[in-house]
Chains A and B, each alone.
Chain A
Amino acid sequence: MSEGQDRIRQLERRLDRALRARAAAEAIAERGLRELYDRQQELELLEATASEASRGLPLDAAVRGALARLCAHGGWAFGRAWLAEPGGARLHCPPEWQVQGSDGAAPLGAAPLVLDAGQGLAGQVLRDAAPAWVPELAAWPDGGPPPAPGLRNACAVPVAAGGDIIAVLEFFRHEPAPADERRLRLYAQVGGELGRAIERWRAEERLREAHAKLDIAIGSMAQGLCLFDAARRLVLVNRPLAEMYGLKPAACAPGQALRDFLAGHADRFEDDAVKEFERLFEDALPEMPAAAKLGLADGRCVALRVSRTPDGGWVATHQDVTAQQRAEARIAHLAHHDLLTTLPNRVKLRERLRQDLSAAKRAGGKLAVLCFDLDRFKAVNDTLGHALGDQLLQKVAARMLACVRDTDTVARLGGDEFAIVQTAPGQPQDAIALAGRIIAELSLPFDLQGHQVVIGTSIGIALAPDDGESTDALLKHADLALYRAKAAGRGTYRFFEAEMDARMQARRALELDLRRGLQAGEFTVFYQPIMNLGTRQPAGFEALLRWNHPQRGLVPPADFIPLAEEIGLIVPLGEWVLKQACRDATGWPAPLKVAVNLSPIQFGGAGPVRAVAAALAESGLDPARLEIEITETVMLADTAATLAALEALKALGVRIAMDDFGTGYSSLSYLRKFPFDRVKIDRSFVSGLDQPTGDAILRAITGLCATLGMETTAEGVETEAQLQQLASATCTDVQGFLFSAPRPAGEVARLLAQLGVPPGGRFRIAS
C-alpha cells in the first residue's frame, strides 16, 4: 500500500468519524428540541389551566376546558371528570363532564355515572389518592368494562383541594401504551391547578349564595333599611324603604351624602322630621341605638331606629307604624269607653273623676257624683229583647248628654247603671237641678221601633269634698245613696248621708260576725210547742234558730236571717238546724213532731232533698215526725223545680207545711199547685180576730183547708179569746206565747210535763 493510499484511507476514516459525530450530535439536538417542545406544551397546559381557573369561569367550563386540553395534549380519545362526594365515599360523573378527544371515536354518555371508592380506575385513584396508569385495559380485570368498546389504554389522576380528593380526571385511548410517569406527573399538576380553581369556585359560590340570601333577606324585610358608611355616604337602600317613601332608583344611588339624601326627600316629612332624622345619627352610640317616631307629610307615622355598624357606619331601619298607632289609639279608646253608647266606661270615669277632684281641690271648689239606675229596664229587656234594650240604652245616653254641660262626664258603668261627674261649683243646688232634669227627661216615653216604652231613673248623689275626697269613697257613697233612692220609691234622688254609711258598716260587721259565729258554735235551736186543739195535747214543736252572741246575747232571727240569706250563709246554717232538730226530736216521745223552716235560698236543685234525707238518716228520726215549713217565697221561684223538690221531700215520708199563709199575693193559688199537709195561718189573721171581718176570713181559710184535707195551725196565739175563736173555727192546731215562748232544747221535757193534760180537759198554760 502506497503512502498516498494510506493517507487517503486515514483521511476517509477521519471524515467518516466526523460525519458520524455530526449525525449523533444532530440526533441529540433533535431530541433536545423535542423535549423542549414537550416542556413548552406542558407549561402551556399548566398555564392555560391556571389562567382559566383564575378567570372566574363557571366550574363546568373550567373542567371541560382542562379535559379538552389534556385530551389534545396526550392524544386521548375520551376524557371525563368525576366529582367526589364530601367524605369521599362515591364519585359522580355528570354528562357535561365527559369530553371527546380529537378522533371523536368514543361516544359520550348521556346519563350521570356513579362509582364507589375503590371501584374502577377512577374509584381506585380516589381511594389511593395517587395517579394510576393502565397500559392495557383488557389485561386489567379490576377495571370493569371501558366506557366505550375498543378503548384499551387509560390513566387517571386525583384532583386535590384543601387536603381532600375532590375529583378524579380519567382518560382513555384506543391503543395500548406503557405507563408514562412523566405524563402522569404533569396531569397531577394540572389536577392540582384545577383543584385550586374548584376550591376557589366553591368559596365564591358560597359567597354568592350568602350574598344572594342577604339580598333576599334585606329585600324581604318588613322594615325599610338604609345603610351609610363611616363618612355618612349612602351604601344601600332596600326595596321596602324605596317603596315606603316612593323613592326612584336614581334617588337611591349609593355614594350620596346623608345630608343630600335627606334634603332630596324633605318634602315627604313633616316639619322638623328631617332634622330629627339627622339628629339620630348623632345620638346613636355603639351598643345603644337611637330611635324616634317621625310623621310623614301624608299623615303616616314611621318608627325610625338608627344603629352604629362595627365599621363606623350607620344602619337606619324604618317601619311604617301608622296602622299600629291607629290600632293602639283604638285599643286605648276601647279600654276607656263603652262600646254600645260610646260613653266613657268605669275606667275612664274614675280617671276623669280623679282629674276633676284634684282640679276642684286646687280651686277649692266642689263637685258632684251622680249614680243612676234605670227603673223597669229589666222588664224592657225581657219583653222586647236585647236589641231594643240596647237601643234604649243608647237613647238614654243621648238624653243624659243633652242634660249636662261639656265639662261634665257621663259614663256607663255597665248594665243599666250610669254615672255623671258634675264639676259645677254651686253645690248642692246644681246637682239637684241636674238630677231633676234627668229624672224628668228619662220619664218621658221612648220610642223603640214603634214601641212606646216608659222607664225612669233613681239617682244617688255624693258631693266632694263633703262626702269624700277619693274616687272610691265618692262612687261608693253615691251608690249607697242610690240604694236609698230606690228604696224610697222610683223616679227620685237621694243625697248621701253619713248614717247610710254607718248602716253599711254595721251590715258588714254583722256579716263577719255571722261567719265567725257559725264557726264558733254560737247558734242554737229553740222550740215552741204546737198544741192540738182536738186532744189539747202538744202535737209537736217548731224549731227556731237563735244566735247566742257572746256580747249581744240572744240575737233575734229577724236581725240576721235576711243577711244570712243574702250572703248564702243560710244554706250551711239551715242544714245545721235541720240536723240538730232531727237529733233533738228523737229524744221526744212519739208521735211528737218537729217543724223545721227551709229558706227559699235552700231551694236550689237537689239541695233540700239531700239535706233532709241526710238529717233523717243521721238521726234515725221517723220521717213522718218531720214537718218542713216553706214560705210563699219558695213557691214564687222556679215553680217546676220547686214542685219537683217538694214531691221528692214528700216521697221521703216527710210532711210539708205552707208557712205564713195569707201574706203573699196569690196564696190561694199555691194551695192548688201542691197538696200541702198543713197550712200555718199567719199571725196577722190571729191578731186581727178582734176586727169585724177577722172571724169570717179565719173561717174561710180553715174551711177551705179542711175541704182540701189540709190541717191548719194558727200562729201567734196570745189570748184565751183568740184560742176560743180558733177552736170554734175548727182550726187543727195552735201555737203562740199563750202556751210558751220558744225555749231551749233542754226545757222541752219540762214543757211537755207542764202542758200535758188529760184528753177533753182544758189547756194548761206553761208558766
Chain B
Amino acid sequence: VKGVIFNILEDAVTRAHGAATWDALLDAAGSDGAYSSLGNYPDSEIEALVGAAADALAITPEEVLRWFGTAAIPLLAERYAAFFDVQQGTVGFLESLNGMIHPEVRKLYPGAVCPHFGFGVEPDGTVRMIYRSPRRMCALAEGFIAGAAAHYGEEVALEHPTCMHRGDGACTFRVRTRRAALRCESQAA
C-alpha cells in the first residue's frame, strides 16, 4: 500500500478524533507510524491499523474502511482538486478512475498496484461497477463512492449484489445518483 494512503488515514483520524487517537491506533497496531507518501508499505500494516480501529470502536473492519473511504474524499479533493473539478458528478468521477486518475497515480508512485474497474449501464440508467482485487477492499470502495457523492452534492443509492467476501468472484456495485437540493450546501460547508 502506498504511503500516501497512510498519510490520508492519519489525517482523517486526526481530524475526526485527534492526534492522540492516531498515536493510540499506532500503538495498538504495533506500527512505528513513520509513513512517507512516496514509500511503499506492506498490506499487513493497513490491515493492522484497520483492525485496531475496529476493536477500539467496536465495529467491523469493513465499517472502518467504509468510514475511511467517505472521510478520505474531501482530503483527496484538497490535495488533487483537478481530478475532481473536471467531473460533473459521481458517476463521471468513478468512470475517470481507470483512464485518468490511476495512470496519474502510477506516474507519481511508480510500482503502485491500482485496481481496474469494469463499468456498464443498465436499461434504467443504473451504473454497474465491477471490482476485482486480491486486497478485497470493497468496503473502502463503497466509502469512496459515498464520499464522492457527497462531494458532488448527490444522493446515491448503492447496492452491492455480489461480493468477494461472500464467495463471489468479483464485487458488483449498482450506483444510482440523484442531485440533492440543499443538503449538499450544508455537507460541503
Contacts of B34 in A (CB 8 A): 16-21, 24
Partner of B39, one of A10, A14, A17, A24: A24
Contact mask for chain B residues 15-28; partner A; CB cutoff 8 A; 1 contact, 0 none: 00001100100000
Residue A473 is within 8 A (CB to CB) of chain B in the complex: no
Contacts of B35 in A (CB 8 A): 21
Contact residues, A1-36 vs B (CB, 8 A): 10, 13-14, 16-22, 24-25, 28-29, 32
Contacts of B39 in A (CB 8 A): 24-25, 28
Residue B60 is within 8 A (CB to CB) of chain A in the complex: no
B38 to chain A, nearest CB (A): 4
Q: Chain B: interface residue count, which band?
A: 10 to 19
B105 to chain A, nearest CB (A): 15
CA–CA, A13 and B32, complex, Å: 9
Closest to B34 in A: A20
Given A13-B23, A16-B34, 20 more A-B residue pairs with CB atoms under 8 Å apart are A10-B19, A10-B20, A14-B19, A17-B32, A17-B33, A17-B34, A18-B34, A19-B34, A20-B32, A20-B34, A21-B34, A21-B36, A22-B36, A24-B34, A25-B36, A25-B38, A25-B39, A28-B36, A28-B38, A28-B39
Contact residues, B104-152 vs A (CB, 8 A): 110
Contact mask for chain B residues 38-50; partner A; CB cutoff 8 A; 1 contact, 0 none: 1100000000000
Residue B87 is within 8 A (CB to CB) of chain A in the complex: no
Contact at A25–B19, with CB atoms within 8 Å? no
B19 to chain A, nearest CB (A): 7
Contacts of B3 in A (CB 8 A): 21, 24
Closest to B33 in A: A17
CA–CA, A17 and B6, complex, Å: 13
Contact at B36–A24, with CB atoms within 8 Å? yes
Contacts of B19 in A (CB 8 A): 10, 14
Contacts of A13 in B (CB 8 A): 23
Residue B37 is within 8 A (CB to CB) of chain A in the complex: yes
CA–CA, A24 and B35, complex, Å: 8
B94 to chain A, nearest CB (A): 30
Interface-central residue, B32, B36, B37, B39, by most chain A CB under 10 Å: B36
Closest to B109 in A: A28
Partner of A29, one of B20, B33, B38: B38
CA–CA, A25 and B40, complex, Å: 10
CA–CA, A14 and B33, complex, Å: 9
Q: Assuming A17-B32, A20-B32, is B37 touching A25 (CB within 8 A)? A: yes
Closest to B10 in A: A17
CA–CA, A29 and B36, complex, Å: 11
A150 to chain B, nearest CB (A): 38
Contacts of A21 in B (CB 8 A): 3, 34-36
Contacts of B32 in A (CB 8 A): 17, 20
B49 to chain A, nearest CB (A): 14
CA–CA, A287 and B114, complex, Å: 72
CA–CA, A214 and B37, complex, Å: 69
Contacts of A22 in B (CB 8 A): 36
A549 to chain B, nearest CB (A): 129
CA–CA, A14 and B23, complex, Å: 8
CA–CA, A16 and B35, complex, Å: 11
Contacts of A14 in B (CB 8 A): 19, 23
Contacts of A32 in B (CB 8 A): 38, 110
CA–CA, A16 and B26, complex, Å: 14
CA–CA, A21 and B6, complex, Å: 11
Closest to B40 in A: A28
Contacts of A10 in B (CB 8 A): 19-20, 23
CA–CA, A19 and B32, complex, Å: 12
CA–CA, A80 and B37, complex, Å: 45
A130 to chain B, nearest CB (A): 27
B156 to chain A, nearest CB (A): 35
Closest to B22 in A: A14
B29 to chain A, nearest CB (A): 13
Closest to A10 in B: B23
Interface-central residue, A21, A25, A28, by most chain B CB under 10 Å: A21
Contact residues, B75-119 vs A (CB, 8 A): 110
Pick 15 A–B contacts, CB within 8 A, sort by A.
A10-B20, A17-B32, A19-B34, A20-B32, A20-B34, A21-B3, A21-B35, A21-B36, A22-B36, A24-B38, A24-B39, A25-B37, A28-B39, A29-B38, A32-B110
Contact residues, A172-195 vs B (CB, 8 A): none
Contacts of B36 in A (CB 8 A): 21-22, 24-25, 28
Contacts of B33 in A (CB 8 A): 17
A23 to chain B, nearest CB (A): 8
A21 to chain B, nearest CB (A): 5
A45 to chain B, nearest CB (A): 22
B124 to chain A, nearest CB (A): 47
Closest to A11 in B: B19
CA–CA, A22 and B35, complex, Å: 9
CA–CA, A74 and B110, complex, Å: 24
Contacts of A19 in B (CB 8 A): 34
Contacts of A16 in B (CB 8 A): 34
CA–CA, A21 and B110, complex, Å: 18
Interface-central residue, A13, A17, A18, A22, by most chain B CB under 10 Å: A17
CA–CA, A10 and B38, complex, Å: 25
CA–CA, A16 and B37, complex, Å: 16
Contacts of A25 in B (CB 8 A): 36-39
A720 to chain B, nearest CB (A): 161
A605 to chain B, nearest CB (A): 118
Contact mask for chain A residues 25-67; partner B; CB cutoff 8 A; 1 contact, 0 none: 1001100100000000000000000000000000000000000
Contacts of A28 in B (CB 8 A): 36, 38-39
CA–CA, A710 and B16, complex, Å: 177
B53 to chain A, nearest CB (A): 18
Closest to A31 in B: B38
CA–CA, A25 and B3, complex, Å: 10
CA–CA, A32 and B109, complex, Å: 10
B26 to chain A, nearest CB (A): 8
B8 to chain A, nearest CB (A): 14
A585 to chain B, nearest CB (A): 138
Contacts of A18 in B (CB 8 A): 34
Contacts of B38 in A (CB 8 A): 24-25, 28-29, 32
Contact residues, A616-649 vs B (CB, 8 A): none
B24 to chain A, nearest CB (A): 10
CA–CA, A151 and B3, complex, Å: 44
A267 to chain B, nearest CB (A): 79
Closest to B26 in A: A17
Contacts of B23 in A (CB 8 A): 10, 13-14
Closest to A25 in B: B36
Closest to B6 in A: A21
User: Would you list the 3 A-B pairs with minimal beta carbon distance, nearest first?
Assistant: A20-B34, A25-B36, A28-B38
CA–CA, A18 and B32, complex, Å: 11
Interface-central residue, A18, A22, A24, by most chain B CB under 10 Å: A24
B84 to chain A, nearest CB (A): 25
Closest to A16 in B: B34
Closest to A20 in B: B34
Contact mask for chain A residues 491-520; partner B; CB cutoff 8 A; 1 contact, 0 none: 000000000000000000000000000000
A253 to chain B, nearest CB (A): 61
Closest to B38 in A: A28
Contacts of A17 in B (CB 8 A): 32-34
A35 to chain B, nearest CB (A): 8
CA–CA, A267 and B39, complex, Å: 91
A22 to chain B, nearest CB (A): 7
Closest to B110 in A: A32
